[in-house]
Amino acid sequence: MQDGQSFAGRCVMAAGAFGRDPAGRAMNLRRLGYFLALAEELHFGRAAERLGMAQPPLSRQIQQLEQELGAVLFNRGRSAVTLTQAGRRLYERGRAIQAGIEDVKLEIRRIGQGAEGRLRIGFVGSSSYGLLPNIVRAFRAGAPGVSLSLMPMNNADLFRALIQRNIDVAFARPALSDPEFVTRKLHDEALIAALPDSLPGAAARTVDLRDLEGQNFILYPEFPRPSYADFVLEQCRALGMEVANRVFAMDLQTALSLVSIGEGVCVLPESVGGAARNGIRFLPIHPPLGTTALSVNHRVDDQGVHLHRFLKVAQEVARKLG
């Protein structure tokens, strides 16, 4: 793709160079087409017929082209028309320019139809355990020519990246809120507890968080705030529990690592518990602590074909997985 883009870029630059004469007047690229037709036919009558025009206008167009370029392009004999050295060089370059322009047209058409291009996806770490891999897999199957860039971020970074148009779509938890965004909830999932397997009670089938008040609660991220950490603290307060011992981590993966070495417990979306991890037991919380929603967010003014196809796939996958 890079080579193709580079070639297309060179063709556009060449077309621009061809498109103006020394006086700065715009040179019609259609005139290049007239020249190429005559260079291939080497006969004014046949070239005019091929172009669907009369011979005198074609002759005038070629004369004007020669005047603008300051070079004679054709030897005009009584019995034959041949290319001069300047004409042969223009023919070589002109064919490359014409082919490049056709390539650009095809490339733009394919991007417009959603067959090629790129999509930049930002996501919170917890989404990579549930829906996101299935959504990406389904989208790739239907649009293999679209390049996907996947970038893990926290909610604050997702918000900033969407505002600055550095990403096209954001998987956030909780949802992003801004008048410039469209937010669609994909699904709710229960909150569960991640406990060190060495912790007494970790072998049980459920856990009451109020029995863990003396434990360190590992929360993420610490900055910027508010964040998922504040959401967990609010849910605990709703149960009448104030978390006193707080250990903050940068992200989900760091939080899980801290749990695995016995540094504390962590409250996570249920989907994270689907991936076994050494040193950790994932348990349902009873009474329930609540649910967390995964949302997909994009800019209101983004009408990209790839984006809206991706959103459709995301919603279809979310419905299928329940």
Distances (CA, A) of 26 to 8, 18, 29, 65, 101: 21, 9, 9, 12, 17
Q: Domain 117-185+293-321 falls in which CATH fold?
A: D-Maltodextrin-Binding Protein; domain 2 (3.40.190)
- In terms of Cα–Cα distance, which of 186, 174, 197 is closest to 279? 197
Is 189-291 in CATH node 3.40.190.10? yes
Q: What is the pLDDT of residue 179?
A: 94
Q: What is the pLDDT of residue 274?
A: 87
Cβ atoms 195, 202 nearer than 8 A: yes
Q: What is the pLDDT of residue 145?
A: 82
d(CA 167, CA 163): 9
Query: 299 pairs with which residues across the strands?
Result: 181
Q: What is the pLDDT of residue 29?
A: 80
d(CA 283, CA 206): 5
Q: What is the pLDDT of residue 117?
A: 76
Per the listing, tokens 């890079």 go with 2
Q: Work out the widest C-alpha separation in the chain, in whole angstroms.
A: 105
Write out the H or E segment, with its range, that includes residue 76: strand 74-76
Structure token digits, residue 287: 């009474």
Is 2-112 in CATH node 1.10.10.10? yes
Q: Mark 176-207 as b/e (b = at least 16 C-beta within 10 Å).
A: beeeebebeebbebebbbbbbeebeebeeeeb
Q: Are strands 181-196 and 280-284 parallel, antiparallel or unpaired?
A: antiparallel
Q: Which residues of the chain are modeled with pLDDT < 50?
A: 1-17, 19-27
CA atoms within 13 A on the CB side of 205: 0
Question: How many other β-carbons are positioned within 10 Å of the β-carbon of residue 127?
Answer: 26
Residues near 84 by beta carbon (within 8 Å), at least 6 away in sequence: 71, 72, 73, 74, 75
d(CA 77, CA 159): 70
What secondary structure does DSSP assign to 139-155, as a single string? HHHH-TTEEEEEEE--H
d(CA 159, CA 167): 10
Structure token digits, residue 224: 């910027």
Burial (Cβ within 10 Å: 0-12, 13-18, ≥19) of residue 86? middle
Write out the H or E segment, with its range, that includes residue 15: helix 2-18
Where, residue-wise, is CATH 3.40.190.10 in the chain?
117-185+293-321, 189-291
Cβ atoms 114, 143 nearer than 8 A: yes
d(CA 278, CA 71): 78
Instruction: Say what angle helices 44-51 and 55-69 make with each other, to 10 degrees.
Output: 100
The reply to whether omega before 200 is within 30° of 0 (cis) is no
